[in-house]
Amino acid sequence: MTNTLRHPAADPAEAVAFFAAELAFEADPDDVARDLEAGDTAGFRLVETRSREAFERARIPGAVNLPHWEVDAATTADWDRDLVYVCYCESSACNAATKGALKLSALGFRVKRLAGGITTWRAAGHPVEGTGLHGVTCDC
């Protein structure tokens, strides 16, 4: 038996449920970039969940900044509950987006996490704005 098949593949119906659920929780950077480029952002808003300093250094155009430790009912009181909030942070090695998404969902918002964070976004060549576009560090 090969290492690859040592654990059998899931039943197709179980695989459909698993992968559909995974897509319900994450947004693909390329999909988001295409939407931003087309000006088609109806229904979602990007939320940078790192520090304000990290946001100033490098951010995805159009994103709002709300550090995950500041997410509460007061800081989100005027947020549109009909939108989906796509949280992002530095990378998959950082969990600030997960912390922000958890807090937002606990407050009743619909959320997704941007797969790979701003590191994956930048590696794909998508636009970034900010004051220090070189040497971005995680201030999570």
Is this prediction's pTM over 0.85?
A: yes
Nearest to 90 by CA among 117, 72, 69: 117
Looking at residue 133, its pLDDT comes to: 61
Measured CA to CA, the distance from residue 34 to residue 109 in angstroms comes to 24
SS3 29: helix
Kind and range of the H or E run holding 14: helix 12-25
pLDDT of residue 55: 94
Which residues touch 41 (CB under 8 Å, ≥6 apart)? Answer: 35, 62
What are the two backbone dihedrals, phi and then psi, of residue 33, each rounded to the nearest 5 degrees? -60, -40
pLDDT confidence of residue 66: 98
Question: Considering the chain, what is the average pLDDT of its residues?
Answer: 93
Q: What is the pLDDT of residue 134?
A: 56
What residues of the chain score a pLDDT lower than 70?
Answer: 133-140
Predicted local confidence at residue 138, as pLDDT: 56
**Do 46 and 88 form a contact (C-beta atoms < 8 A)?**
yes
